[in-house]
């Protein structure tokens, strides 16, 4: 569930639609938070234009998730 502890950051994580087989193509987003201050712990595909992002808690203050830092690659025009 969404209350699970998220231990690490996503690292060049390619989000494919459920049931999709084959090589990723333009528009299949690649999320990365494997760098200092990165804090994206999980990504779930909802639709082509919607994703659920799960931010890891701040190391020094686990009660709060007030900031986010990650990159997104492989977007297509108008996405």
| Element spanning 54, H or E | strand 50-55
Residue 4: per-residue pLDDT:
59
pLDDT of residue 3: 52
Gap between the Cα atoms of 48 and 39, Å rounded: 23
Tokens standing for residue 53 = 């992002």
Mean of pLDDT values over 38-54: 92
CB 17 within 8 A of CB 48: yes
Pull the structure tokens for residue 39.
Answer: 């804090």
Q: Is the pLDDT of residue 1 over 60?
A: no
Q: What percent of the chain has pLDDT over 70?
A: 91
């Amino acid at each position: 569930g969404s209350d699970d502890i998220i231990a690490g950051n996503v690292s060049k994580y390619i989000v494919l639609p459920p049931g999709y087989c084959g090589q990723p193509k333009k528009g299949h987003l690649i999320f990365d938070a494997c760098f200092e201050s990165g804090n994206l712990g999980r990504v779930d595909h909802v639709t082509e234009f919607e994703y659920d992002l799960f931010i890891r808690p701040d190391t020094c203050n686990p009660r709060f998730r007030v900031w986010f830092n990650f990159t997104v690659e492989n977007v297509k025009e108008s996405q």
